[in-house]
Amino acid sequence: MVDRVLVVEDDPGIRSSLRLALEGEGWEVLEAESGEDAFVWLDRGRVDIALVDLMLPGVHGFDVIREIRHRSRLPIVIVTARTDTHDVVAGLELGADDYVTKPFEVRELVARLRALLRRARPTESSPAHFSFGDVEIVPAAGTVTLAGEAVLLTRTEFRLLCELAVHAGQILSREQLLERVWGYDYLGDTRLVDAHIRRLRTKVETDPAHPKLIVTVRGFGYKLEP
């Protein structure tokens, strides 16, 4: 089945060139020039991954991300015109999985999309079942429950949690997590890890402000307390 990439971008030039490039990669490209258009595509049928420009006329990119997250675990890559830390972090906090900055290199973008699409598929070889206090993780089914209630995690959050769970009790540095979950080397942005850890905590911690399960080890990284 051909993967369907939703490109939410108001600049017609970028949109068309992206369509050419991504179609060249064997994907089907759904073009949306506004947030409203994007919602139409999402209503209409299957989308495998979304590329969202934050600076959109009308509905802002942030609202598109919020809306997508409200509906699904669809992987999202944000396109930002500025490296403005604020924009990137805000987008990630809303649930975006990754980001690229304009002017980006299309090969870099394709690599990001591929990594995310891979992540979106069910992981094949994982232990059958993890249990930490109230939290139950079933990797094969891709499900997590907190005190018996199902928790909806994005694929990236799920991968992150599984990575921490497999190495429960061990400290994993941001760099290690970037490499194992996102497929980045050392040159990646560690804010990706921090933002996703924060989101993950709001979902699996009883008191996210005082995490008991996923703890920060200052100066080193993160650790899942068994």
Partner 1 sequence: MNIGRLLARARGGLRARLIVGFAAVSVMVTAAVSTGTYLLSERYLMRERTETATRQSFVDARLVREVLVAENTTPRQALERVELPVGAQALINRGDEWFGSSVAFGEDSLPIELRRKARDGVAASQRSDLLGELRLVVATPVPSIDLVYYEIVSLDELERTLAVIRSSLMVAAVGTGLAAALVGWWASRRIIRPVAEVSAASARIAGGDLTARLGRQRDAQLQRVSRSFNAMADALQRRIDRDARFASDVSHELRSPLTTLATAADVLAGERESMTPRAAEAADLIATETTRFRRVLEELLELGRADAGADLLEIEDVPLGELVLAIVGSISGGDCVVELAPNVAGTRIATDRRRVTRILTNLLENARTYGLGASLVTVDRDLGVVRISVEDKGPGVPIDQRDAVFERFSRGATAGRRGSEGSASGAGLGLAIVAEHARSLGGRVWVEDGAGGVGARFVVEIPA
Query: Of 143 and 216, which CB lies nearer to partner 1 in the complex structure?
Result: 216
To the nearest whole angstrom, how small is the minimum distance from the Cβ of residue 138 to partner 1?
A: 34
Q: How far apart are alpha carbons 149 and 184 in whole angstroms?
A: 33
CA neighbor of 49 nearest in space, from 21, 24, 78, 20: 78
Residue type, 154: T
Nearest approach in angstroms of CB 51 to partner 1 is 12
16 Cβ contact list (under 8 Å, min separation 6): none
Q: Which is nearer to partner 1, 18 or 74 (CB)?
A: 18
Which residues contact residue 32 at a Cβ distance below 8 angstroms, ignoring those fewer than 6 apart?
Answer: 6, 7, 8, 9, 38, 40, 41
CA–CA distance, 175 with 124 (Å, rounded to integer): 24
Q: How far is the CB of 167 from partner 1 (least distance, A)?
A: 18
Minimum distance from CB of 89 to partner 1 (Å)? 10
Nearer to partner 1, 103 or 169 (CB): 103
Residues binding partner 1 (CB under 8 A): 11, 13-14, 16-18, 20-21, 24, 81, 83-85, 102-107, 173, 175, 185-187, 189-190, 218-220
